[in-house]
Structure 1
Amino acid sequence: MPRTIMGKLSLVMLLILVIQIISIVIMLFVNGLAALTIILYAFVSAPLGILFGIAGIIKESGSIVIVHWVTTIISVTLLILFFITLFGFSFGG
């Protein structure tokens, strides 16, 4: 368990990002609204995840830093997916 407040916020953000990824995968298989889920939620959660992840990396030390690295990596991946969906995806036209 992280000791600092930034570490705990990073852990909470990691849980939110995992829930968001599960939601995107479910929406991919149920109907085609995964792009809508990415556009609606990733632009808020990904920068916050990057912010809390990097702040947690700076504040924490020891073996718990892996949580912050995973949070940062998932956030960057979701931000890249957001930009690919926003600028590279054609919505029928």
Structure 2
Amino acid sequence: MAAAAAAVESDSEEDEDEEFDRGERESAQEDVEGEGIKRLALAIERFGEVYERVESEKLKQMVDLEKQRMKFAKDLEMERMRIFTETQIQLEKIKKEARGRSF
């Protein structure tokens, strides 16, 4: 009877050891998963920061490009007006010379 009691007690201790080992493994697994999740969250955060910088730089370049386009359009319009004015002046000179010859 003592041997049976000792065997039951031994089995009980083994079951407790197995449960403890299983708990340790699960805890270690949770730690690994938790660390993995933390690393993933950090990687996502870094990606977001990089994405934000890229988008900010892209917006800045778009603004600069629009400023250049507006300056080019202004310069083009100024040149068009200069040519138009010079043409009008030349036409007036030709008209004056033609009137002067007709008299």
Normalised by the length of structure 2, the TM-score is: 0.28
Q: Which of the two has greater helix per residue?
A: 2
